[in-house]
Chain A
Amino acid sequence: DGGITQSPKYLFRKEGQNVTLSCEQNLNHDAMYWYRQDPGQGLRLIYYSQIVNDFQKGDIAEGYSVSREKKESFPLTVTSAQKNPTAFYLCASRSTVGWNTEAFFGQGTRLTVV
């Protein structure tokens, strides 16, 4: 089945550690996105990528990094520089064929700093 997979579902990190969230899609989509969701604040864009080996910062990129070495994969690293990393992280992808296509979302990763 085609879809977008995030792993792990739950992740715990100690303060001062970097952690990488996985996002894989087999929908053959060019564009991929990372959002952060906090209660009452909706979704905020962290990074997005329109094509392999290229990505742009979103509204809240500080303390995060990404890579796009393969079309299918768009991992997000939460670095120790991110002051408040506890949140629900959502990865999405969409086709760039056509105009304003819908986004498909993964199930999310809940990151907790302990």
Chain B
Amino acid sequence: GNSVTQMEGPVTLSEEAFLTINCTYTATGYPSLFWYVQYPGEGLQLLLKATKADDKGSNKGFEATYRKETTSFHLEKGSVQVSDSAVYFCALSRNNNDMRFGAGTRLTVKP
């Protein structure tokens, strides 16, 4: 079945450090891939997405590239801020029936 595996957290970084959160997927066909962010006590918000191989999604300094050959969609940011502290979820959608999420990675950025 379709599934997403993302790196376990928590991840703790100092401000201005480089961030990578790994995400790999298993799916038939050509899913779309997403990164969502969840701030404390809130629902999820879309951070970025990519709909086909080699697409790069980007938003607020975050980037992720859809790599079909490695079935990966790793999230990166060159310089994190304290305000980036949140839980990040990788997700895939094979069609409009459902959306599968990874377990989430908690990021804490210290000043």
Q: Which residues of A contact B (CB under 8 A)?
A: 4, 6, 31, 33, 35, 40-43, 45, 48, 50, 56, 58, 90, 92, 94, 96, 99-108
**Residues in A neighbouring B42, C-beta threshold 8 A:** 107-108
Residue of B nearest to A43 (CB): B101
- Contact residues of A: prevailing secondary structure: strand
Query: Chain B 40-75 against A: per-residue CB contact (8 Å), 1 yes, 0 no?
Result: 011111100101000000000000000000000000
- Chain B residues touching A, majority SS: loop
Partner of B31, one of A90, A100, A103: A100
Q: Is the CB of B99 within 8 A of A96?
A: no
B: residues with CB less than 8 A from A are 31-32, 34, 36, 41-46, 49, 51, 89, 93-104
A90 touches B103 (CB 8 A): no
Of B31, B43, B94, B102, which contacts A107 at CB under 8 A? B43
Q: Which residues of A contact B45 (CB under 8 A)?
A: 105
Q: What total of A-B pairs shows CB separation below 8 Å?
A: 64
A-B pairs with the 9 shortest C-beta distances? A100-B32, A105-B43, A42-B103, A43-B101, A100-B93, A105-B44, A102-B46, A96-B96, A42-B104
| 8 new A-B contacts at CB < 8 Å, known A40-B104, A100-B32 | A6-B43, A33-B98, A58-B98, A90-B43, A96-B96, A99-B95, A102-B49, A105-B43
Task: Tell me, in angstroms, the Cα distance from A45 to B41 when the chains sit together.
Answer: 19
